Amino acid sequence: MSEEELKFPEWQKPLQDLILEVNPERWHEKVQHVKNLIAERQQQLDRASDGHVEREALHDALTILRVLTDRIPE
């Protein structure tokens, strides 16, 4: 999916890159980067009254990260 097709490319594109990463050395670095981006965006949305759709997308992204990190050993 291209950035133009993503609703929230600021954090969805790095998540997409992580999912497609095949180098284990880069994978853990990318996991941390995506977690940081999601946490930062959640903090921004906590200060806003809108953003329900993005909050749900962030929740889904965290679920994806949990599934990925549970399956890949440290």
Please check whether residue 41 lies inside any domain of the structure. yes
pLDDT at position 4: 75
Please check whether residue 18 lies inside any domain of the structure. no
Q: What is the pLDDT of residues 13-63, one digit of tens each?
A: 999 999 999 998 899 899 999 999 999 999 999 888 888 999 999 999 999
Tokens of 56: 């749900």
Please check whether residue 67 lies inside any domain of the structure. yes
Query: Rounded CA gap, 60 and 68, in Å?
Result: 12
Tokens of 5: 């097709």
Please check whether residue 14 lies inside any domain of the structure. no
Tokens of 68: 């990925």
Domain that holds residue 32: 28-74
- Long-range own/partner contacts, residues 7-14 (CB < 8 A, 24 or more apart): 7/53, 7/54, 7/57, 8/41, 8/54, 8/57, 10/37, 10/41, 11/37, 11/38, 11/41, 11/58, 11/61, 12/57, 12/61
